[in-house]
Structure 1
């Protein structure tokens, strides 16, 4: 089976668990997340930013799921990561963080600001500088917009090309459709930074026993919760279009990772109908139609969705991008080539090229270009 090479718009790296504690001054280090497990291994107490709460540890199938992300050799080892990618046929990838998922649990702006600086310095030195095929996403505080702007500009000077955005900002901050965020959108456009929203990143109130990704319980809960994670990215795009942020900043690019692609034409059509049929109530008025804004500035990545290709071939949405979600359980690690062949065998070569390579390079043109022949590729990987 001939290897299909692709760029990935979605992957993750597991930072050292002690990164923040080891790198921050003691008065701040004591406020970052740490846990104490009970002697029986059934419960743990989590301490973060002056708060403490208890939660039950996963067992059985749930435990298998939480451990799945560490099974790939390069999940937390940068030296082993490139061999993993070469084996799978992934040339370049956008890399999201892991520790940053705690961001919405902080309440002290200084602690979150300094912790994310540590993460950004570490990721750029450890990941981006190791190999130009790897593109890390910077992290910024959504608790304090001023801090977010300052860190975005600092990271842009370092060389970052994308910033990770949770689909909903910190619960103590205004939502993305509010004017408060205008300085951040302007800074991202000026720095040519891609806004990379990752699904499943709605804030969770851990102090009330909430668990990441758990909305439904009972019959069908696993499928319901997995499906539910996709909607946050759609809402983030809707907010940025409806409030005029993308209309004002025509060069600003948005990527929604791991959320599929066929939702984009639907949301575009739905927003067009709302804008047209409820014109008397619509504020603000946009210079361009919602569909034009979405189709020109929004990108979407998927991993297994057979329907995603139809978004490009039958619905006119050209900013479709494949992603492996390495090394997560729902990703393609271990069967990437089978997945790519299933998706693209028989597909128009131009469409295949656009989805596997072109859309990614449009967002990140500085990434080394994928060699065009098998011999050249093999030579480049030696």
Structure 2
């Protein structure tokens, strides 16, 4: 087999699993389960997500059209891929697509950040994380890396759950880019015990874009769909900047964060802007850092992308080594159905060293327990 036809194997820093409809009733008492996020389909292409007395209506595509990077239709499906819910079917899809190991975020579980009951989110996080280890990670512990749910309405609960998640074998926990109800922003010192606990446990902190604002649709009218997707990209940038500028990553040099699905080319730009602010406004800067902001960003922040043509250049042209591919399986923005085509378009023109670092090396640095894909 020549190099042009050989499958490119990649790890993915971003994917999702759609939980069973009755998951909460499987793992929580009924009175708590009925308050947890659930989805109700309305008509052919709408759903309502109910979260502890609040409801959010959104439109879903009647047909899932998978498109290539240049806009051509690859495949059309009337439903999500079977592996969105079925772990065994998922592994078949991953093998076909050339994805070996992947970070797996929740779907409905991400909505739990809107709940304002600290006891409920504490109990739900503990139950779901044990379920993730048993049902997701347990199906392929050397390939599937589920992101644990976190209770963030109490710092003590958050610290306890990081420690618990590590004790049951999770390697990453999911935090929202938005601030939990009633809590201080991510650059506030009140979060210091959580950063210390995560560093001590060797736990990666995963921030997935699209989790900043309860209002999921910010723009309507002409260009709205494009503007809303663009807007989510900024969430990851703001989160990383807060943790760098606020000193959290400087105080905890072994703490690593992953910004999933927000692209990667922004990291050099944000690093330059942080350096300029830190240097030119030095008289006003607090806290003082032991390293330049850009150095901290480059060393401790990892960023995943799926289609961005500019992302490989963030490594080979701008020196940012923590660029990580992400398939975003099984979402519309992802590469399902054309992953190999996308990987070829992205990496056929770069050196083997750059390709390996982005498709596998950065991921294996964060999660050294994963196995290697077949040669």
- Same fold, TM-score > 0.5, yes or no: yes
Counterpart of 1:146 in structure 2 is: 156
1-structure distance, mates of 2:58, 2:83: 25
Residue number among 219, 222, 226 corresponding to 2:222 in the alignment: 219
Shift of 1:62: 7.2
2-structure distance, mates of 1:64, 1:250: 42
Residue number among 23, 27, 30 corresponding to 1:23 in the alignment: 27
Shift of 1:169: 2.4
User: 1:104·1:203 contact (CA, 8 Å) conserved in 2?
Assistant: no
Counterpart of 2:185 in structure 1 is: 175
Once the two structures are superposed, the pairs formed by residues 182-261 of structure 1 within 5 Å of their partners are 182-204=192-214, 210=215, 212=216, 214-261=217-264
Counterpart of 1:58 in structure 2 is: 59
1:273-320 deviations in Å (ceiling 9; x for gaps) = 000000000001111110111111111111110100110011011111
Counterpart of 1:298 in structure 2 is: 301
The reply on whether 1:156 has 2:166 as its aligned counterpart is yes
The reply on whether 1:113 has 2:114 as its aligned counterpart is no
1-structure distance, mates of 2:337, 2:59: 25
Once the two structures are superposed, the pairs formed by residues 48-127 of structure 1 within 5 Å of their partners are 48-49=51-52, 51-53=53-55, 56=57, 58=59, 61=61, 71-127=80-136
User: 1:6·1:356 contact (CA, 8 Å) conserved in 2?
Assistant: yes
Counterpart of 1:269 in structure 2 is: 272
2-structure distance, mates of 1:150, 1:216: 38
Counterpart of 1:325 in structure 2 is: 328
Aligned CA distance change for structure 1 residues 168 and 62 (closer, same or farther; 3 Å)? farther
Name the SS for the 1:274 alignment partner.
helix
Name the SS for the 2:185 alignment partner.
coil
Structure 2-normalised TM-score? 0.90
User: 2:11·2:326 contact (CA, 8 Å) conserved in 1?
Assistant: yes
- Count of aligned pairs between the two proteins: 360
Structure 2 spans left out of the alignment, 5+ residues? 66-75
Name the SS for the 1:299 alignment partner.
strand
1:94-131 deviations in Å (ceiling 9; x for gaps) = 11111222123211111111112221111111111111
Identify the range of structure 1 (186-195 vs 68-77) with the bigger mean alpha-carbon deviation. 68-77
